[in-house]
Structure 1
């Protein structure tokens, strides 16, 4: 091949668009209806999964989504074994540790108990006599996280948490309202369980990047703004309500 041909080939290669490297995206494998493995398709599914897919496609960013236990997801993000992860509660600790982008949606944090459980409460201290179940590694609200209650963090997933409540191994559990009600229905226990008192908080949910990944975080933020403007985000949220 002549030098002229080599020069022309070089110009053509330079003119070709450079495809962005695929991002590895991680989330909780057992957080329905927001993120979970669809048993029929064997693919990641859920409300938040659909939102993340829509954002990355709007940003023209190739990706692959992988689901793991939540504790592993956080460690993988800590060691940059994944490019981003979802879905995080925006606590001060998480804000300090990660570069959070969003919110992609809001959730409502509530307490749940059995029909014969505590009647009501005025402050969290009123729940001191009871065992309150949580999921290992989860953050809830700043007030709850700091409250000196008898907390049982033995559950490794929200599903296991609801099962522990049904089995009377804990008296009260905390979590996302839509999720707890969804799991109660799936387990056929929705008539045996009830929401306790008023919601603790409306909680924005974020995606997380390593702290120094400014460019990737901005790319996601731009995609999120795009699907907000064109109505895609509202369509996904309405579909799952």
Structure 2
């Protein structure tokens, strides 16, 4: 009888999913909490497809990155190559961060970094921007805490341009009912940055990377990830 109980216990343990702890941080619309946001939905769907039980830790941006660097977290998302130091194992991209220059209807459509020259440019503190966008000669940069603050400044004429991404910024523009007033060149982003899951660069982290990659490939093949991220 003891042998049977031991066998059943072993089978049950073998069927339990692998448990993984990932960190994340606030991004309007995309990561609102440990349970809400389009990237959170993506993470849970990818983990489910990979046979992983996911625990998400929601922390301030830099705290998340520091916790990963100090190996207090097995991984985190959304990760961008330009924000990481040290060794890490990166999955395939599950999305991209497309950065645009948002201007008022009567302003110029800017699609190159040099087009920012001579303008007052708003940016959101804590977000990641490529260095060439933040070092254009003759440009005045003004940082605030949130996208909505930047959009309000743009609408009030206190800045000429706002550097924002596509998904969360568009969501905020819709909330302000400013779709016909704030414009951007949809076909020509200033930068396109791959977004991925970062894991520790060790045996377990590389194993998780492989499992997540397989899941991402399957979910991308049928368009499910795109539908989650771009839901109305």
TM tier, smaller: 0.7 to 0.9
The 3-state SS of whatever aligns with 1:140 is coil
The 3-state SS of whatever aligns with 2:22 is strand
Q: CA deviation at 1:134?
A: 1.9
The 3-state SS of whatever aligns with 1:108 is strand
CA shift digits 1:14-68 (9 cap, x unpaired) = 4433434532333332332x3224xxxx94132x222211110011111133434
Instruction: Give 1 or 2 for the bigger CA radius of gyration.
Output: 1
Change (3 A) 1:111 1:211: farther
Q: 2:161, 2:8 → 1: CA distance?
A: 65
Report the TM-score, using the length of structure 1 for normalisation.
0.75
1:30 and 1:69 in contact (8 A); partners too: no
1:101 and 1:220 in contact (8 A); partners too: yes
Change (3 A) 1:78 1:45: same
Q: What is aligned with 2:90?
A: 100
Cα-Cα RMSD: 3.2
The 3-state SS of whatever aligns with 1:31 is coil
Report the TM-score, using the length of structure 2 for normalisation.
0.78
Change (3 A) 1:112 1:26: same
Q: What is aligned with 2:128?
A: 139
Q: 1:233, 1:65 → 2: CA distance?
A: 19
More strand by share: 1
Q: Which runs of 5+ in 1 are unaligned?
A: none
Q: CA deviation at 1:129?
A: 2.0
Residue 27 (structure 1) aligned with residue 20 (structure 2): no
Q: 2:88, 2:32 → 1: CA distance?
A: 23
Q: CA deviation at 1:141?
A: 3.5
CA shift digits 1:158-204 (9 cap, x unpaired) = 33332343344432111212332221111233333221694213332
